[in-house]
Structure 1
Amino acid sequence: MSNRDLPKASFNVRGDLRSVITPKALERWRPEVQAKDGAGDDAASISILDVIGQDWSGNGVTASRISAALRNIGKRDVVVNINSPGGDYFEGLAIYNTLRDHPAKVSVKILGVAASAASVIAMAGDEVQIARAGFLMIHNTWIVAMGDRNALREAADWLEPFDHVAVDIYAARTGLEPKAIAKMLDRETWIGGADAVAKNFADDFLPADAVSEDAKQAAAGQALKAEFRIDEILARAGVPRSERRNLVQAMKGGTRDAAATDTPGAVDVLDQVKDLLDRMKAT
């Protein structure tokens, strides 16, 4: 189908709420899975092989970076290679809109995992291919929120339209009934390669030789996963983002004394990540 037939995602972002990666998506993500060099595409390519949204170190895939890449490509066809556990859902919607509006053909290749926000991005392709061993994951929007019952109820009400946007996008791509899509979002659904093609989330399979694995990236990926798990634990403890960034960087350097925090209870939280730190230092 043409991506011009897909709905545009309209949304507003609240600065006090932050979308997050689900633990299962992070666990299943294998950063070493990449597009094989010289896989046979003459079109320009964009790689989405990281988390969606900017992390504490400035990495991650953002709408501004995708927009800049498309400006350089111009009005040419583009191939978008995806292997991502998701991340900032709102940034994912912005990237989806950017790809949807590209004037030339957009071909999406799901190399490994396209989870959460990354699955929305994948729907922007005129053509979508998925590895037979690949996965899409769709679910309701996940966020980190704090407050009393009134604040949390307000956050839940604010989130509901985003789930409706996701339903509209997936339904337009697949032709499935919106109610069926909504149930899939409610229970966090993992869709394997064959099922993705059968249900029209993807149009075809990737050739088996289109995907490769980078052994060096595998080791780096384990450390990256540990960092995100630490960040999630600290976020749930109420540690501000800037402070979490400093803590993670200090702990990576092995200077635990430098990882002091003024956030109540954060010292206890640091003990919970000791095993993750050991893993990070071992890579």
Structure 2
Amino acid sequence: MKKGKYFTMKNLGDKKASIDIFGEIVSEDYRWYEEDTSAVSFRDALNELGDVSELEIHINSPGGDVFSGVAIANMIKQHPAKTSVYIDGLAASIATTIASSADHVYMASNSMYMIHNAMTGFYGNHNDMRKVADTLEHLNNSMVKQSYIDKNPAIDVEALSAMMDNETWLSASEAFALGLIDEVLQPVQVAASITKEQMERFNNVPKALSAVDDEPIQQPVASIDKEYLDNALAMIREEMKALKQVEEKPKAKNNFFLNLN
């Protein structure tokens, strides 16, 4: 198994293998973190797996770089193995294009699927802005939107365009109804992979995801035996008493105990 709990690959035997994409999709130059997936790292993982006849790709990703995502999607399409994508938590933005490239797409019933138009951050004058807008529109139609149409040629393109314009978050059943996935599975225990920084890029993040970092985690309350606690406190008092009786000046690390009343 390749190291890392986010982007991992493993050979399952009998010419079957699995790859996990549980982080952002980035270009190789910006692959600074272990959890990120680039087209290069995905290619290397495929090469390392060697000759396999079945390939599972598990996705829990907020998306990322368009060109890297499209390259990964094309590698999946071109791979000779039977390919299956499992959306375990979140497939957002370009991660949905990756998902659409597989022969069969499964989605856990408690997962999310988000589609929107390609976007970028840019600085320049009005002429530069128009050029960038035209480029984004071309990328959006030729790469991103086309991946959904390829997945379901019968999809209502006008309705699809409207959903992308409005940044639409789909449940598993909604994605299935649109023909973007092939099968809905039982819930899996995987948290959607999205940080506050990533959420700020989007406009319509569901409350179920946007509240994740704001809600306190309820820790289980451990029961403490009173007799055990009393004995522990008695031992601490004895140690403090012994320290006070030492004529030598206490070391700095004991000052905390000496100042207790």
Cα shift readout 1:19-60 (whole Å, capped 9, x = no counterpart): xxxxxxxxxxxxx9999xxx9x98310000000115462441
Structure 1: distance between partners of 2:176 and 2:182: 6
State the partner residue of 2:160. Answer: 181
Q: SS state of the match for residue 20, structure 2?
A: strand
Contact 1:92 1:118 in 2 (8 A): yes
Structure 1: distance between partners of 2:198 and 2:85: 26
Per the TM alignment, residue 68 of structure 1 is displaced from its structure 2 partner at its CA by 1.4
The within-5 A match list for 1:1-283 is 43-54=16-27, 55=30, 57-59=32-34, 60-73=36-49, 74-165=51-142, 166-174=144-152, 175-208=154-187, 211-213=188-190, 225=195
Structure 1: distance between partners of 2:130 and 2:138: 14
**Letter matched to residue 138 of structure 2:** P
Structure 1: distance between partners of 2:54 and 2:132: 39
Q: Which structure's relative contact order is higher, taking Cα pairs within 8 Å and 6+ residues apart? A: 1
RMSD over aligned CA atoms reads 3.2
Cα shift readout 1:203-257 (whole Å, capped 9, x = no counterpart): 111233xx3348xxx9xx78xx356689x8xxxxxxxxxxxxxxxxxxxxxxxxx
Cα separation, partners in 2 of 1:65 and 1:157, compared to 1, 3 Å = same
Contact 2:6 2:23 in 1 (8 A): no
Cα shift readout 1:68-93 (whole Å, capped 9, x = no counterpart): 11122224210000000011112111
Per the TM alignment, residue 180 of structure 1 is displaced from its structure 2 partner at its CA by 2.3
Contact 2:117 2:167 in 1 (8 A): yes
Cα separation, partners in 2 of 1:56 and 1:109, compared to 1, 3 Å = closer
Higher share in helix: 1
Q: SS state of the match for residue 133, structure 2?
A: helix
Contact 1:171 1:181 in 2 (8 A): no
Q: Which one has a bigger Cα radius of gyration?
A: 2
Structure 1: distance between partners of 2:189 and 2:38: 24
Q: SS state of the match for residue 194, structure 1?
A: helix
Percent identity between the two aligned chains: 34
Q: SS state of the match for residue 155, structure 2?
A: coil
Structure 2: distance between partners of 1:184 and 1:121: 19
Structure 1: distance between partners of 2:16 and 2:46: 12
Structure 2: distance between partners of 1:167 and 1:191: 16
Contact 2:86 2:106 in 1 (8 A): yes
Per the TM alignment, residue 187 of structure 1 is displaced from its structure 2 partner at its CA by 1.1
Long gaps (5+) in structure 1: 1-31, 233-275, 277-283
State the partner residue of 2:241. Answer: none
**Letter matched to residue 89 of structure 2:** G
Per the TM alignment, residue 181 of structure 1 is displaced from its structure 2 partner at its CA by 1.8
**Letter matched to residue 167 of structure 1:** K
Cα separation, partners in 2 of 1:49 and 1:145, compared to 1, 3 Å = same
**Letter matched to residue 23 of structure 2:** D
Q: SS state of the match for residue 103, structure 1?
A: coil
